[in-house]
Structure 1
């Protein structure tokens, strides 16, 4: 059995001196495709082989949509309180602090105004990395204030949804945001100011039940999960077997819930083309 025993140990590196491959150099898509992270970034965070759209946040969407990544952030210091003194395994205030330290964000949405293809645009973009993109009082308030800014300055409004739903730590206060944001969007409609809703992966819960589906035009990225409740809850409620992929953006477009699906690299051109047409502006290349 000598062949199982290595006599010549060769050069041995002590465990404490071994180097691991630095994290973040490669990304593996759900279909198993491997892509260099630098290439992924240059390709709008889309896996080039299978077209998989990697989840991104407000930082990346602002880079994609605002000219030269120049914008003015609105209400950037607004942060949540704990009026209900919620405590489960952890205090809500501690959860908030942990999320803020981890993400560098104040809450699950950022709002900003800037130029997109030379024209003013207000964008509210949700961040799933902050407590699952959950919708609490600050999310509703910042969206409402951004809508007010659009209304006051007659600027088109866009919301990029990415959310797990209402924030349970704020209970009924969270649910009130559905009505508040819906009222503000109705005011924009009365003033004939366009509102674009972009549903990204995932868009679920109270977000779907309010502003995510109230756009003058509702659009999505390919393969996004969009729905109110999970498949098991829907099946148990309706008592019916559900078709495969019934909560994908492609299924929803086929059944009339979405106007169109656009790859991320075409997003800036597509939304500005729509705004040019609806506002009777000269169509730009």
Structure 2
């Protein structure tokens, strides 16, 4: 009886995911050629919880023409910023039997550019990926080149953004699979970003396991060790990042097992639900290029 009930649940969930795509989700992420009005944005994208890519939404930003290595060196080259360093480009990801977070270090912006441009050899992968409004807090000199908020987004949501982040990385840097609990916009100033998007209806197909948290630490010879977080936190508070940890991390963490799919960011224990051995429909896989803006939604 229990097996039959579980088989029925699996079928309903698989059908639900397929019907969601057939009824309201798009096979590919749609492109808009200009920014929508606040009402249109809320009605067509926020309300249905659907992503879209918008062209020409911030073509007036000076950053599009100004932000290059030479300009950034002159504007903020001496500023000390927070940089995530990993051996393979995967931060906040499963490695063996650990959920490993990056080696967070402080360095000047010019030193980071030296690594990214290949002027200084490094065995690690460097990625500016802070999510504590680091553009406003660490790099206020650059805020005049962008808008501190997107007017039609702010009007549609009735609030200003909680954070405005600056991300910079080399091609090997990867943002691990995760979910955001809020609406957000991702603007590409230079280069391109590859996304894999899964709708909330695919949640039952995502497997979770529990992993002990750890962090990467780079040795003097350039190699990396994985250090359990309890040991890592014994360092002096004078070396801690001013943004602090993104959230408390007691005990083991639920996330995707290695070798199954891209690992998830750490989430609350209540999200560590049993997964179903089903194959979900194909996800949306958009490429975001220079001057394009991706709208993503919390689930």
TM-score, reference length from structure 2 = 0.21
Higher helix share goes to which structure? 1
Q: Which structure carries more strand by proportion? A: 2
- When normalised by structure 1's length, the TM-score is 0.21
Larger radius of gyration, structure 1 or 2? 1
